[in-house]
Chain A
Amino acid sequence: MAQLSLRGIRKRFRDTAVLHGIDLEIGDREFVVFVGPSGCGKSTLLRLIAGLDPISEGEFVLNGQRMNDVPPSRRGIAMVFQSYALYPHMDVYENMAFGARLMGLDKAEVESRIAEAARMLRLEPLLQRKPRELSGGQRQRVAIGRALVRKPQVFLLDEPLSNLDAALRSDVRLEIARLHHEIGGTMIYVTHDQVEAMTLADKIVVMNAGRIEQVGSPRQLYEQPANLFVATFIGSPRMTIIDVVREGDRLAMAEGGSIAVTTAPSADTLKLGLRSDAVRLEPGTTGDGFAGQVIYTEYLGDNAYVYVRLADGTLLAARTAPNDSFPPDAPVTVKVEPGAGHYFSAEDGRRLAP
């Protein structure tokens, strides 16, 4: 069982406030991903949970016990570091045994735990190797193994894939998902990569500038982003945001055409968010929709993304069939699928119900 509560967590380094009051509940066996741009405070938050840095204000409670002043080694938490941080002078076996022995486990228990971790992570042939004799992916597995043998209640992973090449990255991602399924501990995973976040998480915590922007499942974040930041951060290509004015039952862009809507928030000015699959492109400037000009096309095989410059200068991404041809500079009309738009307040960027 592992139940984590973060209550009003603040962190300051000297005079610089890095976290401005984080409230978060994390349940047992959950896979939680902290995601956000660099500098948003996600790694700092992870280090506070680990106990590597002191919490300036607020409370961290693990299973009903206040953890603020408990040293890292006694929190029942293990961490996998971005650089793996393996002990360079110890072989793989010793790297895993070091922490286990410090827990006061007897020899047989240490051995059986290492054997189990080695089997799970396919490390058996590597046990006598030194870290420098391992590839990046192997080091990564050792780092995870070192965390596993301590049988922690909570696993922390700090950007564990960022030092791997693209091909290995998706392999290890699968591996981590499988591990979480197999051992069932609570995992907290920090990344700036939204694909990792979307594919791994039960629950995503989107952070920005020391605050939580939204907490939810990948589907919730994608389908109902709470604000402009989450809307543009989650999803690739980025959601296009268009400033529109309400004219009766139409939403108009300044000198750039308008679209008919059945339901839309009552505000006079709005920000309309359009994902690439919410729009349809038609050649020419005829009819209903936003006028634009094709900039370029990204061909991806199973589909293609066409980037269109709208009348007010906004760049819009539209997903099209791979065989559709939209030559550069050609004028196009952007049609919006009914009900596919997201609406945000023009004042504070918060989501508005249609």
Chain B
Amino acid sequence: MPHLRMTGRGLWITALIVPPLAFVALFIVYPIISAFAYAFFDWQGLRRGDFVGLENFHTVLFVEPYRSWTINAFKNNVIVFFALMVLQNGLGFILAYALWRGLPGARFHRIAVFLPVVLSTIIVAYLFKLFLHPLFGVVNISLRGIGMGWLAQPWLGQGNTAIWSLIVAQAWHMVGFPTLVFLAGMQRIPGEILDAVRMETESEWVKITGIVWPLVAPSATIVFTLLFVGAFNWFELPYIMAGLDGSPFGSTDVLGLYFYRTAFGNVSSGQQDFGLGSALAVLIFLFVAVIASVITVRLRAREIQL
């Protein structure tokens, strides 16, 4: 049996590792596990009732009105995910490519693109809410100013524009992150490989699709996975910009808001229900975990050793 000696070094390591481990266990691992447990019980306010097996899961998935709410929120999350994939990651890739090719002012733009990421979501959400104000918002004022007043509208007040307004705000907020990751990936491509492509084609399109994109696959894996997780856990920005009900009429409702409402209650939906909320949380967690693992494994397979 190996003899473990408590040296001064070992003590130090223990002293440094135990507190954060305890913290993580107490505030992250324990709540996750208890949420799993809560989902199988009936709840009366804060008081735990009987064990009900899978009934809470059945309710949120198949019993009206929960069923429609779940489907609506999930549908919105899917829209958000795909829209951000195009807007945030797509734009991020293009921005990264432009920065990488050293277009004029690249140094300034590298900072400018990343700055919004540093801002708090609350600030960004509040700013965009002001921008999009139907009467005093800078968006509508600008539209009227350039003679396109017919385009001015209550962006956050209509079902068909509200979710897209939120998506644009989110993309503006976070586009710097994929940009930075893609840029780092591009900077890892050896210069001579790029020279070799230039000897064979002058088409930027071929360079991007044939060489650059395949070679930044590791960055894409990270960015896709994080976006997926982020899109299905989306909460702060819609909460601040559209409120807890996903107004108007649930058009901006997403799983995060819906879960919060169900578990903790609010003015319009009445009482809280930890059981249903936990069931929702477990479903969201399982869905995100499974799909994120699949994405990661599938994308890993096409990564290339440079």
B199 near A77 with CB under 8 A, answer yes
Are A79 and B199 within 8 A (Cβ)? yes
**Residue in A closest to B189 when the chains form the complex, CB atoms:** A88
| B217: chain A residues within 8 A (beta carbon) | 89
Q: Known A73-B202, A98-B200, A102-B201; judge A85-B304 contact (CB<8 A).
A: no
State whether the Cβ of A118 lies closer than 8 Å to any Cβ in chain B.
no
In the complex, the answer to whether A89 meets B215 with C-beta atoms within 8 Å is yes
* Distance A87 CA – B199 CA, assembled complex (angstroms): 13
Tell me, yes or no, whether B206 is within 8 Å of chain A by CB: yes
Task: Select from chain B the residue with minimum beta-carbon distance to A81.
Answer: B192
Query: How does the 8 Å CB contact mask read for A80-102 relative to B, with 1 for contact and 0 for none?
Result: 01111111110000000011001
Given A98-B210, A132-B305, A85–B193 Cβ distance below 8 Å? yes
- The verdict on A102 contacting B200 (CB below 8 Å), with A52-B195, A89-B214 known, is yes
Chain A, residue nearest B210 (CB) = A98
| B211 contacts the other chain (CB 8 A) | yes
How far is A82 from B201 in the complex, measured between Cα atoms in Å?
A: 20
Judged by a CB distance under 8 angstroms, whether A71 is at the interface is yes
Q: Number of A residues contacting the other chain (C-beta, 8 Å)?
A: 26
* CB-defined contacts of B197 to chain A, threshold 8 Å: 87
Which residues between 250 and 306 of chain B lie within 8 Å of chain A, taking CB atoms?
A: 304-306
Q: How far is the CB of A164 from chain B (nearest CB, A)?
A: 16
What is the chain B residue whose CB lies nearest that of A103? B200
List chain B residues, Cβ under 8 A from A146: 196
Which B residue sits closest to A143, measured CB to CB?
A: B196
Which of B196-221 touch A at CB < 8 Å?
196-203, 206, 210-211, 214-215, 217
Check: A78 CB closer than 8 A to any chain B CB: yes
Mark contacts of A218-251 with chain B using CB atoms, 8 A cut-off: 1 yes-contact digit, 0 otherwise.
Answer: 0000000000000000000000000000000000
Known pairs A87-B211, A88-B215, A132-B305; A81 contacts B196 (CB<8 A):
yes
Within 8 A of B (CB), among A26-61: 47, 50-52
Alpha-carbon separation in the docked complex, A173 to B206 (Å): 34
What is the CB-to-nearest-CB distance from A76 to chain B, in angstroms, rounded to a whole number? 11
Whole-angstrom distance between the alpha carbons of A31 and B263 in the complex?
A: 79
- Give, as a whole number of angstroms, the nearest-CB distance from A264 to chain B: 50
Closest Cβ–Cβ distance, residue B189 to chain A (whole Å): 9
Please determine whether B198 and A85 come into contact, CB atoms closer than 8 angstroms.
Answer: no
* Contact of B147 with A by CB under 8 A: no
A83 contacts across to B, CB distance below 8 A: 190, 192
Closest residue on chain B to residue A84 by CB atoms: B192
User: What's the minimum C-beta distance from B42 to chain A, rounded to whole angstroms?
Assistant: 55
Q: How far does the Cβ of B102 sit from chain A's closest Cβ, in whole Å?
A: 14
- Residue on A nearest B211 in the bound complex, by CB: A87
The answer to whether A256 has its CB under 8 Å from any CB of chain B is no
Q: Contact flags (1/0) for B150-173 with A, using CB distance below 8 Å?
A: 000000000000000000000000
- CB contacts under 8 Å to B, within A63-77, are 71-74, 77
* Cα–Cα, bound, A98→B196 (Å): 11
Residues from chain B with Cβ under 8 Å of A73 in the complex: 198-202
Q: B195 touching A88 by the CB < 8 A rule?
A: no
Contact indicator A50/B199 (Cβ below 8 Å): yes
Q: How far is the CA of A47 from the CA of B194 in the complex (A)?
A: 13
List the B side residues contacting A82 at CB < 8 Å: 192
A153 → chain B, closest Cβ, in Å? Answer: 13
* Cross-chain contact A102 with B196 (CB below 8 angstroms): no
Q: Which of A71, A87, A132 contacts B193 (CB 8 A)?
A: A87
A150, closest chain B residue (CB)? B200
Give Cα A80 to B196, complex, Å: 8
| Residue of chain B at shortest CB distance from A158 | B192
B187 to chain A, nearest CB (A): 16
Q: How far is the CA of A335 from the CA of B192 in the complex (A)?
A: 51
Q: A186–B206 Cα gap in the complex (Å)?
A: 28
Q: Please give me the residue from chain A that is nearest to B193 by CB atom.
A: A85
List residues of chain B with CB within 8 A of the CB of A74: 202
Q: How far is the CA of A83 from the CA of B195 in the complex (A)?
A: 11
Give A127-142 as 1s and 0s: 1 = Cβ < 8 Å from B's Cβ atoms: 0000010000000000
Shortest A125–chain B CB gap in Å is 22
Cα A52 to Cα B203 in complex, Å, equals 14
Partner of A79, one of B195, B211, B304, B306: B195
The residues of A that contact B193 with a CB separation of less than 8 Å are 85-88
How far does the alpha carbon of A245 sit from the alpha carbon of B193 in the complex, in Å?
A: 55
Contact B190 A72 (CB under 8 A): no
B302's nearest neighbour on chain A, judged by CB, is: A89
How far does the alpha carbon of A78 sit from the alpha carbon of B199 in the complex, in Å?
A: 7
Chain A nearest CB: distance from B302 CB in Å?
Answer: 8
Q: Are A85 and B196 in contact (CB under 8 A)?
A: yes
Interface centre among B195, B199, B217 (most CB of A within 10 A): B199
- Cβ 8 A contact of A89, one of B192, B201, B202, B304: B304
Residue contact A72 to B198, C-beta cutoff 8 Å: yes
Pairwise interchain contact A85-B206, C-beta atoms closer than 8 A: no
B contact residues around A89 at 8 Å (CB): 214-215, 217, 304
Cβ contacts under 8 Å, A87 to chain B = 193, 196-197, 211
Question: Contact: A85 with B190, CB < 8 Å?
Answer: yes
Q: How far is the CB of A319 from chain B (nearest CB, A)?
A: 40
Bound-state Cα–Cα, A101 to B82, Å:
34
When the two chains form their complex, are residues A52 and B198 in contact, meaning their CB atoms are under 8 A apart? yes
Question: In the complex, which of the residues A50, A51, A88 has the most CB atoms of chain B within 10 Å of its own CB atom?
Answer: A88
Query: With A52-B195, A85-B192 given, can you name 15 additional A-B contacts, CB distance below 8 Å?
Result: A50-B195, A52-B199, A73-B199, A73-B200, A79-B199, A84-B192, A85-B193, A85-B196, A87-B193, A87-B197, A88-B304, A89-B217, A99-B200, A99-B201, A146-B196
Interface on B for A, CB 8 Å cutoff? 190, 192-193, 195-203, 206, 210-211, 214-215, 217, 304-306
Which A residues form the contact surface with B (CB < 8 A)? 47, 50-52, 71-74, 77-79, 81-89, 98-99, 102, 132, 146, 150
16 contacts between A and B (CB under 8 A): A50-B195, A72-B202, A73-B201, A73-B202, A77-B199, A79-B195, A79-B199, A83-B190, A85-B196, A86-B193, A87-B193, A87-B211, A88-B306, A89-B217, A98-B210, A102-B200
Closest 3 pairs between A and B when the two form their complex, measured CB to CB: A99-B200, A85-B192, A85-B196
